[in-house]
Amino acid sequence: MVSGQKTVGRSARYPSAPRRLTLLLVQVGIVFVCLGITVIVALMVQERQIRAATEERVIRVAESLSNLPVVRAGITAPWPTGELQPVADLVAEAAGMDYVVITDTAGIRLTHPNESLVGEQVSTDHRRVLAGEHFVGVEAGTLGPTLRAKMPVYDTAGTVIGTASVGILESAIAEDMRDGVAGLLPWALGSLAVGIGAAALVTMLLGRRLDRLARDARDLVVQRRVGAALGEQSHEFTNRLHVLYGLLEDRENDEALDYIRTLVPVDAEVVSGAAAEAAAGGEAAYTGPRTAPTPVSRSGLRTLIERHRIILTERGGILECDADEVGVGNLDTEEFEVIANLLSNAVDAAGPGGRVELRLARGAEGLSIRVSDSGTGISRADRERIFEHGFSTKARGERDLPRGFGLALVARVLENRGGWITVGEPVYGSSGTRMDALVPPLYPVDATTGRVQNPVAIDPDSREEPR
């Protein structure tokens, strides 16, 4: 017992650890995503900038090379390579080009970084350049893929006498990109560390607030559950007052005292059980132990009917009752609750000048109940929901008791005893509501064997809207 209490204490002491971890992971995930997107965009922009700068560089070098007088003179010289190769090597070294190639109008290389390729036909198409066009792009040559620029070389008369081609290897551009990534990486890691630190700080600050909210939420659940249990008890208490009133009115004091003794300890258990379930975190309607059914005198039923007749009469309405006390016999408290709640709802629904009919009959299947009212009726959309715990079609006033419990109690009693209830329209008019219910006996007796059998739900084949 002691160890169990310690375990509960530890779990209650650290209720927010998973929640705080989840909050931290969500924030860190957001930091990762945002940083990742930022890094990708930065790398794309950097790659474009590096490529644009490289293109601009090769264009300027190619233009400058094609306009040099020594290049013009060298192309038409008797031994052009001897005059042009030193110039090409100097330009390549000064401008940081991987290759510089000068050709004649036949496309024969006059210069090349690889001396063995001098004097051979170029490996790429130079016809459009010889036609006077400029070319900038990536081509695969003898050194590999390069970003290159090709310019025509003109003589003093404006005639194309050759081409000047310069380029930078794609591998060199990729190396520049790697250098850029290396420079960006420390900043990205630093930003990640700052983001994680900020997320941890926010988690710590919000965690305290979330703990407070979690405690408030648990307290609210407990209050709602206890309130629901007390709401049920208020309905049952009202009905039991009618029973007690009838017993006392008939001077049956001993029976009244016995009836009170059966109620007090069990009802206390109902409320405390609801609070215990709420503290455990549940929010469903309390389904714990209820008062065991006990006999109700006929005077209790008579008093219940007369009370509601007085209420209707004061409102200018009428209550018609067809209930043979001898035929109906003695009721138990659950049967009484069903009648009381259905009748109370009908009286409320009928309103001023309204009409309510109550029909009771007991047969072999159990107690048959029909309650009709001349109120506004219940929409088909609400007919299924009216038996839900806490649902009500009535507007709640400032001093009203909690609503949405009476029919839920009825449904629970009928479900426990294998009964049924239907919702329809009154037989005497189109407006209003009619409810038919069957409450089977607690211990049905088999007519053939004479033995007590378990209650079995009866299927209301011809009824509408069965519950």
331 and 369 share one domain: yes
Q: What is the pLDDT of residue 367?
A: 92
Neighbouring CB atoms inside 10 A of 19's CB total: 15
Q: Is 225 inside a domain boundary? A: no
> Do 208 and 249 fall within a single domain?
no
CATH code, domain carrying 382: 3.30.565.10
Same domain, 321 and 383: yes
Q: Which residues pair with 109 in a beta bridge?
A: 103
The boundaries of the domain holding residue 374 are: 236-439
200 and 267 in one domain? no
The answer to whether residue 59 scores a pLDDT higher than 80 is yes
What whole-number distance in Å separates Cα of residue 43 and Cα of residue 181? 7
Question: Are residues 304 and 246 located together in one domain of the fold?
Answer: yes
The answer on 266 and 320 residing in a single domain is yes
Instruction: Name the pTM for this structure.
Output: 0.43
Secondary structure of 341-373 in the HEC alphabet?
HHHHHHHHHHCCCCEEEEEEEEECCEEEEEEEE
Residue 119: which of 152, 86, 80 has the closest Cα?
A: 80
Residue 72 CB-half CA count within 13 A: 15
DSSP of 278-300: HHTT--SPP-S--PPP-EE-HHH
- Reference 420, options 461, 467, 386; nearest CA is 467
pLDDT tens by residue, 334-374: 888 899 889 988 998 888 888 999 999 998 899 999 999 98
In which residue are the tokens 């900020």 written?
198
Q: Which of 264, 204, 192, 292 is nearest to 21 (CA)?
A: 204
Instruction: Answer whether residue 250 shows pLDDT above 90.
Output: no
Q: Is residue 3 part of a domain?
A: no
In a domain, 50, yes or no: yes
Same-domain check for residues 110 and 189 = yes
Edge-first strand order for the sheet with 366-373 is: 318-323, 355-363, 366-373, 433-439, 420-424
* 300 and 342 both lie in a single domain: yes
Whether residue 58 has pLDDT greater than 60: yes
Does 16 lie in the same domain as 87?
Answer: yes
Share of the chain above pLDDT 90, in %: 9
Fill in the amino acid letter for 296.
Answer: V
Which of 48-52, 273-277, 338-342, 359-363 shows the lowest per-residue confidence on average (mean pLDDT)?
273-277
Residue 184 lies in a domain: yes
* Same domain, residue pair 272 and 416: yes
pLDDT tens digits along 104-145: 888 888 888 888 888 888 878 788 888 888 888 888 877 778
In a shared domain, residues 116 and 188: yes
Do 187 and 249 lie in one domain? The reply is no
Which residues have CB under 8 Å from 78's CB, separation 6+?
A: none
For residue 445, being part of any structural domain is answered with no
Judge whether 230 lies within some domain.
Answer: no
Q: Flag whether 461 is in a domain.
A: no
Q: Give the Cβ contact number of residue 126 at 10 Å.
A: 20
CB 135 within 8 A of CB 58: no
Contact 428, 372 (CB under 8 A): yes
In our burial notation (b when 16+ CB lie closer than 10 A, e otherwise), range 233-253 reads: bebbeebbebbbbbbeebebe
Q: What residues contact 326, with CB distance under 8 A and at least 6 apart? A: none
Q: To the nearest whole percent, how much of the chain has pLDDT over 70?
A: 72
Q: What is the mean pLDDT of the chain?
A: 75
Contact indicator for 265, 439 with CB cutoff of 8 Å:
no
Residue where a domain terminates, one of 212, 228, 258:
212
Q: How confident is the model at residue 16 (pLDDT cuts 50, 70, 90)?
A: low
Q: How many domains does the chain have?
A: 2
CA dihedral 248, 249, 255, 258 (to 10 degrees): -30
In a domain, 78, yes or no: yes
> Residue 279 in contact with residue 271, Cβ under 8 Å?
no
Q: What is the CATH number of the domain that holds 163?
A: 3.30.450.20
How does pLDDT run across 152-191, given as a tens digit for each residue? 988 888 888 888 888 888 888 777 777 777 777 777 787 7
In terms of C-beta density within 10 A (0-12 exposed, 13-18 middle, 19 or more buried), how is residue 365 classed? middle
Q: At what angle do helices 170-249 and 298-314 cross, to 10 degrees?
A: 100
